[in-house]
Amino acid sequence: MIPVQGVENQTIAVLGLGRSGKATAAALAAGGANVIAWDDGQDTREQAEADGLTIVDLTRDDAWQGVTALIASPGIPHLYPKPHPVIAKAYELSIPVDNDIGLFFRSYATTDWDGFDRVPRVIAVTGSNGKSTTTALIHHILKECGRPTQMGGNIGTGVLSLEPAIDGEFVVLELSSYQTDLARALTPDIAVFTNLTPDHMDRHAGLGGYFAAKRRLFAEGGPDRAVVGVDENEGLYLADQLSMGPADDRVIRISSGKKLDRAAWSVFARKGFLAEYRKGRQAGSIDLRQITGLPGAHNHQNACAAYAACRAVGIAPREIEAAFASFSGLPHRSQTIAEIDGVRYVNDSKATNVDSAAKALQAFDKIHWIAGGLGKEGGITALTPYLERVTKAYLIGHSARDFALEVGQTPHEVVDTMEAAVARAHAQAKPGDTVLLAPAAASFDQYPNFEKRGEHFTALVEALKP
């Protein structure tokens, strides 16, 4: 746990008592604060009270006597579509509102660091797509290269549940727009922006608000180095805003598909090869095509971002390449489960919408595609350009018959269940083929979440092994 600094003997209110809220309350208490808490859910409140938290109804005016700050959980709206009533009350009373990310950045450095040989550093990753894989990949590279490291934020451990820093440690954080938008302190040493596509439009009142939330990670704290994906206009703008000119190597531009050789420092991937350029000359290259944990152009962009971040902290290209080779990918995200009789089995259960399924389909050839579940508005007609890669589709779940009408001339079967889909794909796939679970649909018709769906697929594949 990282005790929060500067809160001793203060009364701090915590709104939202999920994982991050409970961890925040504990870290505040460890820092000497008097913590009061509230959650809209009665069951959650009762459990928190049983765990020893002081529950106070923050919707009441008299609850705010002596409160010096409100710490809100990330999922609670603070501006759009409208502020949560408790946050609105804090605004009315001029009480500062923050979140656990802000508390982390103001509390991570301590006087213990005076005795360290190497100052700990924070690498923070944001963006629309790929930030979880990029975060995990950076953490993996650092660990494989013998650097002490922890990973947290929007992936794995909550930031205030991380351990206090040790000499020379790197903390790698995935930060969502919900987290960066409200944090009052954002001071990473290295900040990474992967890309931007429309998401969370209601929460941020449109694409501009969404980008502004991401941009805060770079604008508020002024990282020593910024890694910026420039495949969209927003990334080009951000890189330009942060750079003092073509010779400024504090910004490392990255791309999947574009050659970048004019900037002071860039990393890009084309046709399966990663290249690093510094001052117009190639400084490193990696063949990504045979790295099973990073399939497809979207993962090649993640590889560029992770490579750039690790180069920025002094990791050598050959060390990064060796770590790439041992990266197995995140569960349920283009995760290779097994190769059986020359057939590759890939779990991308996280592909719950058309955009993510399209990326998965572009990553492989000769695909036996398992798709379906609880379909979303618009169906899967947008996947038509990628169906030429599909040898056969096996359709499951609630929307199987709707999907069958939308795959056109692509060979397909309506098999309804995961068991039947895996069995049929296994029987028909040939050496060199890929059996890919990329549902393009939610899981809630047959599974409680996409993780359970992916775990079921994985178990069925494991059972096929000789």
For residues 294 and 322, give the distance between their C-alpha atoms in angstroms, rounded to a whole number: 13
What's the pLDDT score for residue 182? Answer: 96
What's the pLDDT score for residue 377? Answer: 87
For residues 413 and 428, give the distance between their C-alpha atoms in angstroms, rounded to a whole number: 12
**CA-based nearest residue to 328, from 293, 284, 279, 365:** 293
Q: Which two tokens stand for residue 268?
A: 């890009």
Domains contained in the chain, CATH given = 11-98 (3.40.50.720), 104-325 (3.40.1190.10), 335-462 (3.90.190.20)
Instruction: State the Cα angle at 329 between 328 and 334, rounded to 5°.
Output: 120
Global confidence as pTM: 0.90
279 annotated as a binding-site residue: no
Task: From first to last of the 466 residues of the chain, give the pLDDT tens digit.
Answer: 999 999 999 999 999 999 899 999 999 999 999 999 999 999 999 999 999 999 999 999 999 999 999 999 998 999 999 999 999 999 999 999 999 999 999 999 999 999 999 999 999 999 998 999 999 999 999 999 999 999 999 998 999 999 999 999 999 999 999 999 999 999 999 999 999 988 888 999 999 999 999 999 999 888 999 999 999 999 999 999 999 998 999 999 999 999 998 999 999 999 999 999 999 999 999 999 989 899 988 999 999 999 999 999 999 999 999 999 999 888 999 999 999 999 999 999 999 989 889 999 999 999 999 999 999 888 999 999 999 999 999 999 999 999 999 999 999 999 999 999 999 999 999 999 999 999 999 999 999 999 999 999 999 999 999 8
What's the pLDDT score for residue 221? Answer: 80
What's the pLDDT score for residue 198? Answer: 84
279 CB contacts (<8 Å, ≥6 apart)? 247, 249, 264, 265
What's the pLDDT score for residue 73? Answer: 96
What's the pLDDT score for residue 229? Answer: 98
356 annotated as a binding-site residue: no
Question: How far is the first Cα of the chain from the last one, in angstroms, to the nearest whole number?
Answer: 45
What's the pLDDT score for residue 329? Answer: 86
Task: Yes or no: say if 286 and 272 are a contact pair by the CB < 8 Å rule.
Answer: no
For residues 88 and 180, give the distance between their C-alpha atoms in angstroms, rounded to a whole number: 19
List alpha helices for 93-206, DSSP H.
100-107, 131-144, 177-182, 201-204
Task: Yes or no: say if 306 and 134 are a contact pair by the CB < 8 Å rule.
Answer: yes
266 CB contacts (<8 Å, ≥6 apart)? 252, 253, 254, 255, 260, 276, 277
Tens of pLDDT along 131-179?
999 999 999 999 999 999 999 999 989 999 999 999 999 999 999 999 9
Strand (E) or helix (H) holding 357: helix 354-362
For residues 163 and 180, give the distance between their C-alpha atoms in angstroms, rounded to a whole number: 21
133 annotated as a binding-site residue: yes
CA quadruple 221, 227, 232, 237: dihedral sign: positive
221 annotated as a binding-site residue: no
132 annotated as a binding-site residue: yes
Task: Yes or no: say if 359 and 436 are a contact pair by the CB < 8 Å rule.
Answer: no
Task: Yes or no: say if 1 and 27 are a contact pair by the CB < 8 Å rule.
Answer: yes
130 annotated as a binding-site residue: yes
| Secondary structure (3-state) at 465 | coil
Tens of pLDDT along 46-64?
999 999 999 999 999 999 9
Q: Which two tokens stand for residue 152?
A: 């947290």
336 annotated as a binding-site residue: no
Task: Yes or no: say if 98 and 184 are a contact pair by the CB < 8 Å rule.
Answer: yes
What one-character-per-residue DSSP string does 151-179 give? EEESSSB-GGGSPPP-TT-EEEEE--HHH
Phi, then psi, of 460 in degrees rounded to 5: -65, -40
What's the pLDDT score for residue 199? Answer: 83
What's the pLDDT score for residue 156? Answer: 84
Q: Which two tokens stand for residue 455?
A: 């775990």
Task: Yes or no: say if 239 and 228 are a contact pair by the CB < 8 Å rule.
Answer: yes
What's the pLDDT score for residue 16? Answer: 97
